[in-house]
Structure 1
Amino acid sequence: MRVFYSEDHRLHFPQAELSGGQFVTPFERPSRLEYILNRLRKRQFLDVVAPEAVDMAPITALLDPGYLTFLETAWDEWKAAGMGGEIIAANVPARGMHMDRIPENIDGKVGYYCHASETAITQGTWKAALSSVASAQAAQRHVAAGANAAFALCRPPGHHATADQYGGFCFINNAAVTAQMFRDSGAERVAVLDIDFHHGNGTQDIFYERADVLFASLHGAPQQTYPYFIGYADEKGRGEGEGYNFNYPMLSGTGYSQWSAALDDAIAKISAWGAEVLVVSLGVDAYKDDPISFFQLESDDFTDAGRRIGRMKLPTVFCMEGGYAVEMVGVNTVNVLEGFADA
């Protein structure tokens, strides 16, 4: 399986994340990818290549142009306004406020385009985000050309980014761009399977009113964990998209028996629908020792999960998402890929 990876991910490394009322080193940090790369090499995944330059056309066609301009220019505007630190949202529109008027001041603009203030923007965030989606694009082109699978080792991750907001460590929705590229290249039915512990709210938002991309997400129950306000089981899609969105929220302490049953149900729905290609938002934060999650999966469970996904026999792109038990993130990620290959 070919792996696409860019060193430019290192350009994004905020020095602080607001967690539990204090600033801490971000859980989403560059070292995550070092552990994954080391494990890939150890397990003989040696076909690791850098992506070509990002193709902005499918990104601008899918995401809000004003939002993309904001991401590109936010750092310069922030510094021009005399701000001393990294960009962190301090003012956000709440109930009863205007959601349709974008502030001119950069402080207000940040709040307009952000849905989770734990996520900071740095000088290198835009370039890192572009390199991340470039890896996803390269993986899509590789599979569209005939490969059975590819792994986009994306960082920053993407599945929390909507068409016009960032948060949850995500800026550009890599999985959504990948799915759209499959549609643009001729696939009529594209499925996105999100196995990250946290709900893929951004991916759901982007495809919620569409019938050509089926979305299924296994995640912590939103009444108990981020992103809190979305990801309930009764969210089935809207308009033309009704019946093409499937959420599997699960409570604290969920183990592999319940989790794998949800995975099997999602796989059955994707197969019954007749998906032609599959995009997997590959988060491994369902692991038992993940510091910001509460499922109880063991490392071997990820191998079995990959095997179940592989039995679908669909052309597949894996896009890296979360996983914050850094010393095990490589093992758990590669276990999914090896299970998939075994199938």
Structure 2
Amino acid sequence: MRTYFSERHRMHFPQAELHGGELVTPYERPSRVEYVLARLKERGLTDIVDPGEADMGPIRDMSDPGYLAFLESAWDEWKAAGFAGEIIATSTPVRRMQTGRPPRNIDGKVGYYALASETAITRTTWEATLSSAASAQAATAHVISGAWAAFALCRPPGHHATADMYGGYCFINNAALAAEQFRASGAGRVAILDIDFHHGNGTQDIFYGRGDVFFASLHGAPEDAFPYFLGFADETGEGDGEGSTANYPMSPGTGYGEWSGALDDAISRIRAFGAEALVVSLGVDAFKDDPISFFKLDSPDFMDAGRRIAGLGLPTVFCMEGGYAIEAVGINAVNVLEGFEGA
């Protein structure tokens, strides 16, 4: 399986994340990728290719124009306003506030486009974000050209990003880009399977009203886990998308038995949907030792998950998402890929 990866991911490395009332080293940091790369090479998966530049056309088609303009100009506006640190949202529109008028002031604008405050923006975050999107696009193009599967080692990740909001370490939704690329290539129906511990709220939001892309997410129950406000089991789509969303929220302490049962159900629904291509949001933070999650999967479980996903027999793109037990992230991510390839 070919991996697409850009060294430009290093251009996004905020020095702080707001967590538990403290500024800490971000859980989503460049070293995550180094562990994945090291594991790929250790296992002989050395077909690793730079993706080149991102195709901005599909990114613009999928995104709110004001949001993209914000991402491109935020750092310059922030510095012009005299702020010394990294960009972190300090105020956001909430219940009974105006939500359709982006502020002119950059401090307000940041809050308008942020869905969470843990995610900082640096001087070169935009460049890193585009390199991540490019990896997803190149991996999808490789599969469209005839490969069975490809791995987009995306960083920053993407599944929390909507068409007009960032957060959860995500700025552009790479899985959504890949799905749209499959659709543009002629696939009538595409499925996105999100196995990250955290609900793929951004992906759901993008496709919630559409019937051509099926979205399934296995995640921590919203009552207990970020992003908290989306991902309930009764969210099944609306309008043309009714029935094309399947959420599997699970409680603290969930082990592989329950989790794999949810995976099997999601797979059966993807098969019934008639998907012609598959995008997997490959988060491995369901791991038992992840510092910001509460499922109890062990490393061999991820290999079995890969085997089960392979049973769909679909052209597949894996987009890297979360996983914050740093020393295990490479083992767990590559286990999914090897399980898939060995099926």
TM value normalised by structure 1 = 1.00
**Over aligned residues, Cα RMSD in angstroms?**
0.4
Name the residue aligned to 2:308: 308
Name the residue aligned to 1:341: 341
Query: What does residue range 225-240 of structure 1 map to in structure 2 within 5 Å?
Result: 225-240=225-240
What SS is found at the alignment partner of 2:150? strand
Name the residue aligned to 1:143: 143
Which digits, 9 at most, give the CA deviation of each residue in 1:92-137, with x for residues without a partner? Answer: 0011110011100000000000000000000010000000000000
- Give the AA of the match of 2:101: R
What SS is found at the alignment partner of 1:254? coil
Distance in 2 (CA, whole Å) between partners of 1:311 and 1:235 is 26
Distance in 1 (CA, whole Å) between partners of 2:144 and 2:329 is 28
What SS is found at the alignment partner of 1:202? helix
Aligned-pair CA distance for 1:272? 1.0
Distance in 2 (CA, whole Å) between partners of 1:58 and 1:180 is 8
Distance in 2 (CA, whole Å) between partners of 1:282 and 1:292 is 16
Q: Which runs of 5+ in 1 are unaligned?
A: none
Give yes or no for the alignment of 1:64 onto 2:53: no
Distance in 2 (CA, whole Å) between partners of 1:34 and 1:128 is 15
Name the residue aligned to 1:73: 73
Aligned-pair CA distance for 1:53? 1.0
What SS is found at the alignment partner of 2:122? coil
Distance in 2 (CA, whole Å) between partners of 1:96 and 1:211 is 31
Which digits, 9 at most, give the CA deviation of each residue in 1:216-257, with x for residues without a partner? Answer: 000000000100010000000011101000000000000000
Aligned-pair CA distance for 1:59? 0.8
Aligned-pair CA distance for 1:52? 1.9
Q: Which runs of 5+ in 2 are unaligned?
A: none
Name the residue aligned to 2:258: 258
Which digits, 9 at most, give the CA deviation of each residue in 1:43-96, with x for residues without a partner? Answer: 000100000211011111111111011000000000000000000000100111
Give yes or no for the alignment of 1:5 onto 2:12: no
Give yes or no for the alignment of 1:213 onto 2:221: no
Query: What does residue range 30-179 of structure 1 map to in structure 2 within 5 Å?
Result: 30-179=30-179
Distance in 1 (CA, whole Å) between partners of 2:251 and 2:113 is 30
Structure 1 runs, 4 residues or longer, greater than 3 Å off: none
Distance in 2 (CA, whole Å) between partners of 1:279 and 1:121 is 27
Give yes or no for the alignment of 1:288 onto 2:288: yes
Distance in 1 (CA, whole Å) between partners of 2:72 and 2:98 is 24
Aligned-pair CA distance for 1:8? 0.2
Aligned-pair CA distance for 1:259? 0.0
What SS is found at the alignment partner of 1:51? coil
Distance in 2 (CA, whole Å) between partners of 1:195 and 1:65 is 29
- Give the AA of the match of 1:116: A
Query: What does residue range 165-204 of structure 1 map to in structure 2 within 5 Å?
Result: 165-204=165-204
Distance in 1 (CA, whole Å) between partners of 2:213 and 2:28 is 28
- Give the AA of the match of 1:79: K
